[in-house]
Structures are given as C-alpha cells and as structure tokens.
Amino acid sequence: MQIGPYTIAPNVVLAPMAGVTDKPFRQLCKRLGAGLAASEMTISDPRFWTTRKSIHRMDHAGEPAPISVQIAGTEPAQLAEAARYNVDHGAQIIDINMGCPAKKVCNAWAGSALMRDEALVARILQAVVAAVDVPVTLKIRTGWCAQVRNAPAIARIAQDSGIKALAIHGRTRDQHYIGTAEYDTIAAIKAMLDIPVLANGDVDSPRKAEQVLKHTGADAVMVGRAAQGRPWIFREIAHYLATGQELPPPSLTEVRGILLGHLTDLHAFYGEQQGVRIARKHLAGMPGTARRTRPSARWSTPPRPPMHSCA
C-alpha cells in the first residue's frame, strides 16, 4: 500500500488507540511486523500541547519511518495549525480522527461526531491538506447511526480534498463497540475510490484478516484491540497473507523477552512510577501473566468503553 511517498508493507497496521498506542507500544508492534502504527490522538487545541500527556504523545524520537500522528479537533484552522506543529515535531503522515465515538472528545463534538456535518468535514480536510506537505490520512466510521450511514459521502469528500488514504471502522458512531463490524460499506467505498482504503473492526486473527481483505477489496487491514496483549499478531497476519500458512504461536521464552523488553521501554519512556502503572494494562493480557479477566472476555469485546483523553 502506498501513502504518498511511503510504501506500507506489510499491509497490516496498528489502529490508533488513545491510552494504548504510545511510543513504546508502537515501536513494539512495528518490530513485530506492523507496516504502520499511528500515534494516539493529540488534541488540536494548543493550550494542551505542553501537558505531560501531550509531550509524551508528541515524542517520536527514534521511531521508525513513517511516523504517523493522529490529530483530533473541530476547528479547521486549529487542526491545520496542529498538523503543522506535529510535522515540525517529526510527523511524516498526519491522520485526522473522525472515528472516535466518545460523546465528547476533548469537550467538543470531535471524532466521529464530525461526520454529521459534511460541509465542516470538507473544510477541515482542505485546511489540513493545505497546511502541510506530508500525506494526510483520515479515519472514519461507517456513519453517525444506522439511519445515517454516510461514510461513502465522506469518503468522496476525503478523496476530493486530497486525503491520501482512508481507514474505515465498520461500525456507526452510535454502535460504539457493540455488535459486530460490517464490511459491506467498506467494500462499497473501496469500489468507488482511487486512494488506498484500510479496513478496520474486529480483525483478531490471520484468517479474519484474509476474509476482510477479500470481502472489502481493501488495501490493508487495521488492527486495534486484538494487538493489545498479542502484539505479534502483525507478523502472524502478514505471514498468513503471504504464504497461506499459520505461524506457530511464540514460545514462552520469546513472550518473556518481548514482555520484559516492553516493560523496560515503558519505564524508560514514562519513568519508574508512571511506567509501572501503564505497564499493568499492557502486560496483563500477555500469556503467562496474571489476569483479572478471562482471555476471551478481554479480547473479544472490551470490558468497558475505551477512555479517550486527548490532553
């Protein structure tokens, strides 16, 4: 898959997840086969750029290219400024968040709520594309609700505005994470666009990735929740797509090495105290570690709605 000057290979990418896809996790997923790993969303309001959380989210030192940074907001000029700021701080791809279902992202109707206002979507996309000379990508849901499944209209606006790739989560905004993702809308959008399309939602195994790619004709699959506690899923999917063969699961010795390496990276990135707290949510799901929830409960549907905080 090509995003501007960047060849994304393999075509299996990590979904942006606030509170999860921090730099240590992105680096881990890329080492284990993700072709691309977008950052957690960063708020477009400059008043928040100096908070500890934002400083961590905007730290891309040492990350392998291409560095994709997601921004969230509602004001075209502010998003354009945020895009410029992030490019100045290392972003090589800017991704715009219109996929987050939280009622209010950062106290504004950002994220997937923006999909209700197609004219505003056009203004935002045009402003951001004009503001930076790196590729701009967009992440959306299939629509606002079952009755307003307007992702195809947004997709057309995106392509016409110069967006270089479009990721679509196969749920509407009002579904949050309930039910199952549908892929027909993604297939319809792929059929009408020239830009690359990434299919997202409930991809949790190599076979599922293959099915979704076949059904949608998408250029890549995007994996979110299934990567948490199983970051090697990227190489498993990539291997299966390339060979039709399933890789054996990693040995406990390898899992131990991955786990300890991730722990060390988290401590180095956040410091001892915060690192321990953040490590708990990443490591609790890995094989061989104690868990509070059954593995099936943990990975099939999240135990609670995700927390989205942007500052």
Ligand X SMILES: Cc1cc2nc3c(=O)[nH]c(=O)nc-3n(C[C@H](O)[C@H](O)[C@H](O)COP(=O)(O)O)c2cc1C
Smallest separation, CB 121 to ligand X (Å): 15
Containing 211, the helix (H) or strand (E) segment is: helix 206-216
Closest CB to ligand X among residues 30, 139: 139
What distance lies between CA 248 and its chain's CA centroid?
26
Residue 70 in the binding site for ligand X (CB under 6 A)? yes
- Cβ atoms of residues 220 and 238 within 8 Å: no
Beta bridge partners of 197: 166
218 scored as a contact of ligand X (CB under 6 A): no
Which tokens is 208 given?
Answer: 């599922």
3-state secondary structure of 5: coil
Q: Is 225 in the site for ligand X (CB under 6 A)?
A: yes
Single out the residue of 33, 76, 99, 229 in contact with ligand X (rule: CB under 6 A).
99
User: Given candidates 183, 200, 235, 262, which one binds ligand X under the rule CB under 6 A?
Assistant: 200
Site membership for ligand X, residue 143 (CB under 6 A): no
Q: Which stretch binds ligand X (CB under 6 A): 1-9, 42-50, 158-166, 196-204?
A: 196-204
Contact window for ligand X (CB under 6 A) among 11-19, 51-59, 116-124, 289-297? 11-19
In the complex, what is the shortest distance from the CB of residue 307 to ligand X, in angstroms, rounded to a whole number?
7
106 carries an active-site annotation: no
The residue of the chain with the least Cβ separation from ligand X equals 224
Binding mask 16-45 for ligand X (x = CB under 6 A): xxxxx-------------------xx----
Rank residues 254 and 292 by Cβ distance to ligand X and give the closer one: 292
Q: Tell me how far apart the alpha carbons of residues 213 and 209 are, in angstroms, rounded to a whole number.
A: 6
Alpha carbon separation from 79 to 47, 176, 265 (Å, rounded): 13, 24, 31
Buried b (16+ CB within 10 A) or exposed e, 40-55: bbbbbbeeebeeebbe
DSSP state of 148: B
Beta strands, E only, 130-223: 136-143, 165-172, 197-200, 220-223
CA distance 161 to 123: 9
Nearer to ligand X, 114 or 157 (CB): 114
Q: Which of residues 289-308 bind ligand X (CB under 6 A)?
A: 302, 306, 308
Q: Locate tokens 């291409």: which residue? A: 66
57 scored as a contact of ligand X (CB under 6 A): no
Catalytically active residues are 100
Residues at the interface with ligand X (CB under 6 A): 15-20, 40-41, 70, 97, 99-100, 139, 169, 200-203, 223-226, 302, 306, 308
